[in-house]
Amino acid sequence: MGKSTMDILVKSISCLPFILTVSGVFGSNPCDPGWYGELCDKRCSAKCLSHSDNNIYCEKHYGACSLGCVPGWYNENCIIPCSTNCIGDMCNQQTGQCTKGCKGNYRGALCDVPEVTRNDPPPRHDQEVTDGTKRAILNMVFAAGVLAVVIVLTTITVALLVRRFSSTYR
């Protein structure tokens, strides 16, 4: 005669205390709050959400945060920051996808793709201007301006001197 599903379920549940006891003997005892590892010698991420008792709990073997991450962080261990382009720095705890959308002119699941508008064509590599190039151009414009002022002042001074000496010798 075959066993019914109910018989199998009852036997499985009755074995549960034994399984839990045996697993405790073989190193599954929980660590103190905030710690994980076989020897409970590794700290849980400070970016794990804390429990109502203000303690952080994480999975014993890999350190996965038990209650998820604080806002602005993701991954099972809460060690990867959400994109700074996510609105409110909020992202999906598993994937990092921005949950409230993107700031400014960014798009994509991680808000890491600059959005191009009709008035703002994508930069061409042969037209890129770096900050160093901009600084050099500004320095040259400034130097040319100073030089122009010096030339004008010298011309005025020479003209005044010529006028003064020419009137003195008459």
Cα–Cα distances in angstroms (integers) from residue 84 to residues 11, 46, 97, in the given order: 53, 19, 12
pLDDT in tens, 115-164: 877 665 555 555 455 566 677 777 788 888 888 888 988 999 888 888 87
Note whether 63 and 44 are within 8 A (CB). Answer: yes
Q: Domain tally for the chain?
A: 1
Identify whether 65 is part of a domain.
yes
As a whole number of angstroms, the distance between CA 45 and CA 79 comes to: 7
Identify whether 85 is part of a domain.
yes
As a whole number of angstroms, the distance between CA 163 and CA 37 comes to: 93
Identify whether 118 is part of a domain.
no
100: containing domain: 30-108
Percent of the chain at pLDDT exceeding 90: 49
Identify whether 102 is part of a domain.
yes
Identify whether 134 is part of a domain.
no
Cα–Cα distances in angstroms (integers) from residue 158 to residues 5, 104, 146, 148, in the given order: 112, 57, 18, 15
Identify whether 59 is part of a domain.
yes
